[in-house]
């Protein structure tokens, strides 16, 4: 590691910010030693804010039907070989019931932009989910919608929304998406979500086609300025039935490096160790935690549909039942000295959960973490 890179890392830690060109320099001139230093500082930062807790979210993949045609995505509209499914509202609620019994207190409803889920349908699901499980947070990840739609969903009870920005560079965005999709609309969505009081998540693929260190520096600057509550980054993994089938995947090495940078930049951000990271590296999620991540998302979708939600090739965790998935991730977290937290795991500083009488106890500075998710059975009887 050069003295220059070392000084950039310590400046980032101190000031939680670098000029964009210095982010690019850090990425370009990184080496193993620099990554190790960054990971150490990022881990310390994670522990200072969250202790040894890793927040666990129950992921429910509600539909593999999508009207869009993003060039990198395995369930894009033009992939006629993709197997399509859609969970009914009853099936989604049943997944959440099972997850609640297993100890989950956040549900992430993720899917393609499926026109079946009108505001009426989706608001109904959110409302019923919150009625059945008022101690839980609901995260939505169902793409671009109108401000009115986001508002209706928020009023129905949705707490968080994940919408990866994918790239902060409009030219790069145009290379990853079809002409009918617009960078400006993606940014409009993110602004609306934040203004409407969602804990908002953005993020991007590491190593996506045509991505340069300068693009990544732009992404980091965007994240630094936007200050999301959550940030999802994972390596690009090509899918065999997409126009990007022959592009090289992103690396775990660069993904881990960037996780550490983001943790130093935004110490309180909710930062998942993604399934894509676990796909390109056997112990990728554990490595993600050691690089500064603090969230994992076991899959609660019915096993019969898991393989059909195939955004990229060789996706892991498609065969296990929900309880197995939870247990596996618990083991993995313990192996790196962490434990899965049982509470909603709101972003620090987020207050509406407190208004509802639910206190986020996951933050070290606000006291001790309550307990682990039990091996089996209900936790709040």
Interface ranges with ligand SF4 (CB under 6 A): 66, 68, 70, 73, 75-76, 112-113, 143
Between 44 and 113, CB nearer to ligand SF4: 113
Least Å distance, CB 143 to ligand SF4, is: 5
Between 113 and 214, CB nearer to ligand SF4: 113
Q: How far is CA 3 from the centre of its chain?
A: 33
Least Å distance, CB 76 to ligand SF4, is: 4
Contact indicator for 360, 366 with CB cutoff of 8 Å? yes
Residue 195: CA count within 13 A, CB half-sphere:
10
Contact indicator for 53, 337 with CB cutoff of 8 Å? no
Other CB atoms within a 10 A radius of the CB of residue 259 amount to: 31
Between 84 and 283, CB nearer to ligand SF4: 84
Beta-carbon contacts of 80 under 8 Å, excluding residues fewer than 6 positions away, are: none
- Which residues in 135-281 belong to E strands, given as ranges? 137-141, 160-162, 199-206, 230-235
DSSP symbol at 203: E
Between 141 and 255, CB nearer to ligand SF4: 141
Least Å distance, CB 234 to ligand SF4, is: 13
Between 63 and 260, CB nearer to ligand SF4: 63
Buried b (16+ CB within 10 A) or exposed e, 37-55: bbbebbbebbbebbbbbbb
Between 73 and 156, CB nearer to ligand SF4: 73
Least Å distance, CB 162 to ligand SF4, is: 11
Least Å distance, CB 255 to ligand SF4, is: 18
Determine the Cα–Cα distance for residues 159 and 106; give it in Å rounded to an integer.
10
Least Å distance, CB 193 to ligand SF4, is: 16
């Amino acid at each position: 590691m050069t003295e220059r890179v070392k000084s950039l890392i310590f400046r980032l830690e101190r000031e939680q910010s670098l000029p964009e060109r210095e982010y690019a320099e850090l990425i370009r001139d990184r080496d193993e030693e620099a990554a190790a230093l960054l990971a150490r500082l990022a881990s310390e930062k994670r522990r200072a804010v969250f202790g040894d807790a890793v927040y666990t979210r129950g992921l429910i993949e509600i539909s593999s039907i999508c009207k869009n045609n993003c060039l990198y995505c395995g369930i894009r509209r033009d992939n006629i070989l993709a197997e399509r499914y859609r969970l009914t509202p009853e099936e989604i609620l049943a997944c959440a019931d099972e997850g609640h019994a297993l100890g989950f207190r956040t549900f992430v409803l993720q899917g393609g932009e499926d026109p079946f889920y009108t505001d009426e349908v989706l608001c109904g699901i959110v409302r019923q989910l919150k009625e059945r499980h008022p101690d839980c947070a609901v995260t939505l990840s169902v793409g671009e919608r109108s401000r009115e739609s986001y508002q209706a969903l928020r009023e129905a009870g949705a707490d968080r929304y994940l919408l990866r920005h994918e790239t902060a560079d409009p030219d790069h965005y145009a290379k990853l998406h079809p002409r009918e999709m617009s960078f400006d609309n993606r940014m409009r969505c993110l602004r609306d979500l934040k203004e409407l009081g969602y804990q908002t998540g953005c993020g991007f693929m590491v190593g996506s086609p045509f991505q340069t260190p300068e693009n990544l520096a732009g992404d980091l600057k965007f994240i630094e300025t936007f200050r999301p509550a959550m940030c999802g980054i994972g390596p690009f993994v090509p899918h065999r039935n997409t126009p990007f089938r022959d592009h090289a995947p992103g690396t775990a090495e660069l993904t881990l490096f960037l996780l550490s940078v983001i943790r130093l930049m935004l110490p309180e951000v909710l930062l998942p160790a993604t399934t894509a990271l676990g796909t390109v590296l056997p112990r990728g999620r554990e490595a993600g935690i050691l690089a500064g991540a603090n969230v994992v998302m076991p899959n609660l979708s019915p096993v019969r549909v898991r393989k059909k939600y195939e955004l990229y090739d060789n996706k892991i965790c498609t065969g296990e039942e929900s309880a197995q998935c939870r247990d596996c991730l618990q083991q993995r977290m313990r192996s790196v000295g962490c434990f899965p937290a049982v509470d909603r795991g709101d972003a620090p500083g987020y207050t509406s959960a407190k208004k509802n009488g639910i206190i986020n106890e996951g933050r070290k500075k606000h006291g001790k973490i309550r307990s682990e998710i039990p091996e089996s059975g209900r936790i709040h009887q």
